[in-house]
Amino acid sequence: MTARPSDWDPRHYLRFSDERSRPFVDLLARVPGTPRTVLDLGVGPGHLVAAIHARWPDAVVTGVDSSPAMVEQARAEHGDEAEFVLGDLADYAPDAAPDLVVSNAALQWVPGHLDVLARWRDLLGRGPGARTLAVQVPANQDAPSHAILNELAATEPYARWTQGTARVHVHRAEEYLEVLAQPGWTVDAWETTYLHVLQGPDAVFTWISATGARPVLAALPDDVRPAFVEEYKARLRAAYPERAYGTVLPFRRTFVVATRD
């Protein structure tokens, strides 16, 4: 299917799938125990459900995403691995608390998501048994890729269309720790910078146009977008020069795993 301009494009997102998947695998590696029920908030096209089953083969997985295109793709290609639900991450409420709530590179799109994490902490804190909340969010909002995007989008003739477009909301690891490190909980929080070596022309643009730059690109009219794209590509090439072995994209991410004792 062809995604609406305002929706996510699953096929575009799955470019550089190996690089995008690695933080999720690293996050799952820090989750203790053997959860029987897993809720994946921001499941995307569903391709990472396989990583959950690789770690816990018998886990029953429910994936939630706010993108109709992502949910449709997930159901079509991974419907036998999990149940996929269209829902808003900010207020989704399951029938019963799962053993594990996991969210990979999704909550940065939810304004005020510290409150969302506190709500999930409280939900998982009820009833018997150990439960875990595991989250990973990009922490590269100050990187050249985003700085160039914001600077260019704020200039004319683009600013008239890009004002008010969605921006990521990311907090320091210490803030996530502060929200989740309540009595009765053990919290592991850390940051990692990956050095992704990307292949192909304008590789950084290909990466970010599927994620962080998507709201700006979608906001621009069809007759204006090409000029913006060409200027953005040129500035990205200067900031991230292509080398003989590929283009290096440093990408910092924040992780937090909170387990009720």
Q: What proportion of the chain, given as a percentage, has pLDDT over 70? A: 93
Alpha carbons 244 and 233: distance in angstroms, whole number = 19
Tens of pLDDT, residues 6-32: 455 656 655 667 888 899 999 999 999
The Cα–Cα gap between 19 and 228 comes to: 26
pLDDT band at residue 193 using 50, 70 and 90 as cut-offs: very high
Is the pLDDT at 2 greater than 60, yes or no? no
- Beta-strand (E) ranges in the chain? 37-41, 60-65, 83-86, 100-104, 132-138, 185-198, 247-260
**What mean pLDDT comes out for the span 221-230?**
96
CA 255 – CA 192 distance, rounded (Å): 8
Distance CA 257, CA 143 (A): 25
pLDDT value, residue 211: 83
Q: DSSP letters along 216-237, please?
A: HHHHS-TTTHHHHHHHHHHHHH
Q: DSSP assignment, residue 4?
A: P
pLDDT band at 4 (very low <50, low <70, confident <90, very high): very low
Whether the per-residue pLDDT at 253 is higher than 50: the answer is yes
Q: What is the pLDDT of residue 3?
A: 34
5: pLDDT confidence band, cut at 50, 70 and 90?
very low
Average pLDDT over residues 152-181: 90
- 44 pLDDT more than 80: yes
Q: For residue 12, what pLDDT is reported?
A: 60
Q: How many CB atoms lie within 10 A of CB 146?
A: 17
Cα(139)–Cα(156) distance, integer angstroms = 28
For 187-202, give one letter per residue: b (16+ CB within 10 A) or e: bebeeeeeebebeeeb
Average pLDDT of the chain is 90
Query: Does position 168 have pLDDT exceeding 60, yes or no?
Result: yes
Domains observed in the chain: 10-260 (3.40.50.150)
Judge contact between 33 and 64, C-beta under 8 A. no
pTM for this predicted structure: 0.89
Confidence of residue 251 (pLDDT cuts 50, 70, 90): very high
In this prediction, residue 191 carries a pLDDT of 96
Q: Is the pLDDT of residue 116 over 60?
A: yes
- The residue assigned the tokens 């040129």 is 234
What's the count of helices (H) and strands (E) in the chain, helices before strands? 11, 7
Per-residue model confidence (pLDDT) at position 9: 60
At residue 7, the pLDDT reads: 55
- Cα 75–Cα 30–Cα 179 angle in degrees, nearest 5: 90
* Residue 164 pLDDT class (50, 70, 90 cuts): confident
**Lowest-confidence pick of 45-59, 83-97, 118-132, 149-163:** 118-132
Tell me what pLDDT residue 196 has.
95
